[in-house]
Chain A
Amino acid sequence: MEKAAETAKEPELLLDVRELRTYFHTFKGIVKAVDGVSFSLKKGKILGMVGESGCGKSVTGFSILRLIDPPGRIESGEIIFEGEPLLEKPEKEMEKIRGNKISMIFQDPMTSLNPVYTIKKQICETLELHRGLTGVDAHNRAVELLRLVGIPSPEERILYYPHQFSGGMRQRVIIAISLATSPSLIIADEPTTALDVTVQAQLIKRLYGLVRESDRSMILISHNLSLVSGVSDNIIVMYCGRVIEKGPSENVVFNPAHPYTIGLIDSIPKMTGQRKMLKQISGMVPNPLDMPEGCAFRPRCAQAQRICEKEFPALREISAGHFVSCHFAGRTDR
């Protein structure tokens, strides 16, 4: 009895990604863009995915929707969404999930809308395809969606073309489209990177509100750790196609354990307090075609030792729910 009550309180698992591997087979060799990524997301939670360009965070997002084109291929792994394995579904069924149960918000608001159609047409298309709404019903729902994302006088604006909107407004339209079918999961890939800070603040707050109100889940992909830490329940830090640290937001931000996460946080200039010389991570991200043996961060790591060259460090739990992939992190004897 008691156990049943407990499980009811605990939000159920929405998405479970296990050992996902997505490789790109280029002429120069195999690029392991995502190499054994595992994480899970509960209903109503927001997961932040952080890392620098090329770390595989976007490819992970695309892989969940199976939007990987050749030369890329999902090699192995499992993606369980609402209890069903997505990687085993035929393409026809995937089409019913994309944009319907899982929707995606892309980075560039200038290119992700079709310039030759009004936004009414673009919102109604989604509504018709996935919800079977047409005519006045679709129109009314579209207006409602635009109001929801904070576009002023939506009745008029719905007939506008994308070029008549500013960048921030376009991104609102895209959010409206992504919400059109009440998806249970939204994957937002750098949704505010192309926007100014004041607009970014508005949009993130709006997106956060919309996700929280209706008990949806979101994966927020961004290179901006500060931004992600402001909204996420959990954070995943990626480096060279692998998860190197994951855990509750506060743990990752205030008690980072992986040398890369620590370096990343130290290299962000601060907005308050004494100015200090920025600690930098020396060197640069290795060539994806020529990954070092063992730990991928080893060539840039100050604490690297023999074992780091040979053995890839597996994720270890250093405190409740806080996992780190480093031989030495959290050890007192280092």
Chain B
Amino acid sequence: MGEEEDILLKVGHLTKKFPLTRGNPFEKRKYVNAVKDFSLSLKKKEVFGLVGESGCGKSTVARTIIRLYEPDEGSIVYDGVNITTMREKQLRPYRKKMQMVFQNPYSSLNPRHTVKDIVTQPIIFHKLASTKAEAEEMALFYLEKVGILSSQVERYPHQFSGGQRQRISIARALAVAPDFIIADEPVSALDVSIQAQILNLLLDLREEFALTLMFIAHDLAVVRHVSDRVGIMYLGCMVEHGPYRDIFDTPLHPYTVTLLGAVPVLGVRTIDSTELTDEVPSAPSEDFKGCVFAHRCPLCFEKCLRDTPVLEERTPGHFVACWSLNHG
């Protein structure tokens, strides 16, 4: 029972479909599964890294969890409360507890507001301060935490560099004292030297404010650096998840193996890395059967085309969805 109490977020069999454009208005509407049967439990104060290539549904998962998208199936339980179908008004306190940092620091800040206003607004909205002055003081506190000087807070977003803007985004997320932050590709728009600054900042803040973090990225080295547990997604499905060491040292799913092999490593010649023959196909339609990776998989056999593999625990905490592991 004690373990149950430690769980902050429990996502069960989440599915999110998007309609495809129809050829003509009388045609039956078809859907793609952006996310299919996605389950995840996050412990308090854990950093969970979610990796995958573009279009694999990792951002859709994030947006569905914080109810920016309405889930089609499945459940989202936050701190013991089911928020899957909660109305907006009831949901408001949870919006405060779950914050998001977006990828693009150039478009996620309002260009017409000063930085101080940007960070003060959520504090006022969630009524965390009794006066405006108090709210501004809180905003300055969080801005200072992320390294923005008080002399800079009257400036507008365009006067800051990409790294500084990402710091402001983080301050805005922190300002409402959340328990859970989803960072969707927070460093992919930044240069390496700035990337390291932001990663260090995020890890420091997590310590200081006891945050639970869901870290979404396509850069495997970055995810390895920050995460306690890692999940690998491919075409809307989680194919493997487990402690970061297991995923990076003993990957089991053939997709994870190729993905790790494709990452360029400093000083290693790119000659005989394992290579996938095709490119990522588009997301499968809703009546798709079998393993999503089957068509590119070197270990594919007939069962993979027929039945959808389920996540099975291979070593403690390390789950893999692949038929070939049972096969031979």
Among B53, B222, B266, B270, which residue has its beta carbon within 8 angstroms of that of A196? B53
User: B161 near A284 (CB under 8 angstroms)?
Assistant: yes
User: A271 near B196 (CB under 8 angstroms)?
Assistant: no
Q: Which residues of B contact A224 (CB under 8 A)?
A: 264
Give 3 nearest A-B pairs by CB, closest first. Answer: A267-B196, A230-B270, A269-B225
Residues of B within 8 A of A (CB): 53-54, 161, 163-164, 191-197, 199-200, 218, 220-222, 224-225, 248-249, 258-271, 273, 275-276, 279-280
Q: Which residues of B contact A264 (CB under 8 A)?
A: 192-193
User: A201 near B193 (CB under 8 angstroms)?
Assistant: no
For window 140-169 of chain A, which residues contact chain B by CB distance below 8 Å? 166, 168-169
User: B266 near A275 (CB under 8 angstroms)?
Assistant: no
Query: Can you name 8 extra interface pairs (CB under 8 A) apart from A225-B192, A264-B193, A285-B161?
Result: A52-B193, A166-B280, A198-B259, A201-B270, A223-B192, A229-B268, A272-B248, A280-B197
Q: Which residues of B contact A272 (CB under 8 A)?
A: 248-249
For window 196-244 of chain A, which residues contact chain B by CB distance below 8 Å? 196-202, 204-205, 208, 223-227, 229-231
User: B276 near A198 (CB under 8 angstroms)?
Assistant: yes
**A254 interface residue (CB < 8 Å to B):** yes
**A277 interface residue (CB < 8 Å to B):** yes
Nearest residue, chain B, Cβ from A249: B267
Nearest residue, chain A, Cβ from B56: A196
User: A271 near B265 (CB under 8 angstroms)?
Assistant: yes
| Distance to closest chain B CB from A311 (angstroms) | 24
User: A280 near B196 (CB under 8 angstroms)?
Assistant: yes
Among A52, A168, A205, A231, which residue has its beta carbon within 8 angstroms of that of B192? A52
User: A263 near B262 (CB under 8 angstroms)?
Assistant: no
What are 19 pairs between A and B in contact, CB < 8 Å? A52-B194, A53-B191, A166-B280, A196-B280, A198-B259, A198-B276, A199-B53, A201-B262, A201-B275, A208-B271, A226-B267, A230-B265, A264-B192, A269-B221, A269-B222, A270-B224, A271-B220, A284-B161, A284-B163
**A278 interface residue (CB < 8 Å to B):** yes
Say yes or no: A269-B269 contact (C-beta < 8 A), given A52-B192, A168-B279, A197-B262: no
Q: Which residues of B contact A80 (CB under 8 A)?
A: none
Among A53, A226, A230, A271, which residue has its beta carbon within 8 angstroms of that of B260? A271
| Distance to closest chain A CB from B202 (angstroms) | 11
User: A263 near B193 (CB under 8 angstroms)?
Assistant: yes
| Distance to closest chain A CB from B227 (angstroms) | 10
Among B259, B265, B268, B270, which residue has its beta carbon within 8 angstroms of that of A205? B270
User: B218 near A269 (CB under 8 angstroms)?
Assistant: no
Say yes or no: A196-B54 contact (C-beta < 8 A), given A227-B264, A275-B224: yes
| Distance to closest chain B CB from A226 (angstroms) | 4
| Distance to closest chain A CB from B162 (angstroms) | 8
User: B259 near A253 (CB under 8 angstroms)?
Assistant: no
User: A278 near B196 (CB under 8 angstroms)?
Assistant: yes
Nearest residue, chain B, Cβ from A250: B267
Give the complex CA separation of A280 and B194 in angstroms.
Answer: 8
Give the complex CA separation of A168 and B261 in angstroms.
Answer: 18
User: B269 near A268 (CB under 8 angstroms)?
Assistant: no
| Distance to closest chain A CB from B233 (angstroms) | 13
User: A254 near B195 (CB under 8 angstroms)?
Assistant: no
Q: Which residues of A contact B221 (CB under 8 A)?
A: 268-271
**A301 interface residue (CB < 8 Å to B):** no
Among A197, A230, A253, A284, which residue has its beta carbon within 8 angstroms of that of B220? A197
**A265 interface residue (CB < 8 Å to B):** yes
User: B218 near A196 (CB under 8 angstroms)?
Assistant: yes
User: A280 near B193 (CB under 8 angstroms)?
Assistant: yes
**A304 interface residue (CB < 8 Å to B):** no
Q: Which residues of A contact B270 (CB under 8 A)?
A: 201, 204-205, 208, 227, 230-231
| Distance to closest chain B CB from A300 (angstroms) | 8
Q: Which of B53, B267, B268 has the most CB of A within 10 A?
A: B267
User: A231 near B269 (CB under 8 angstroms)?
Assistant: yes
Give the complex CA separation of A267 and B260 in angstroms.
Answer: 20
Q: Which residues of A contact B280 (CB under 8 A)?
A: 166, 196, 198-199
User: B269 near A230 (CB under 8 angstroms)?
Assistant: yes
| Distance to closest chain B CB from A27 (angstroms) | 17
User: A201 near B196 (CB under 8 angstroms)?
Assistant: no
Q: Which residues of B contact A208 (CB under 8 A)?
A: 270-271
| Distance to closest chain B CB from A237 (angstroms) | 12
Q: Which residues of A contact B273 (CB under 8 A)?
A: 201, 205
Q: Which residues of B contact A225 (CB under 8 A)?
A: 192, 266
Say yes or no: A229-B161 contact (C-beta < 8 A), given A52-B192, A205-B273, A268-B192: no
Nearest residue, chain A, Cβ from B51: A197
Q: Which residues of B contact A282 (CB under 8 A)?
A: 197
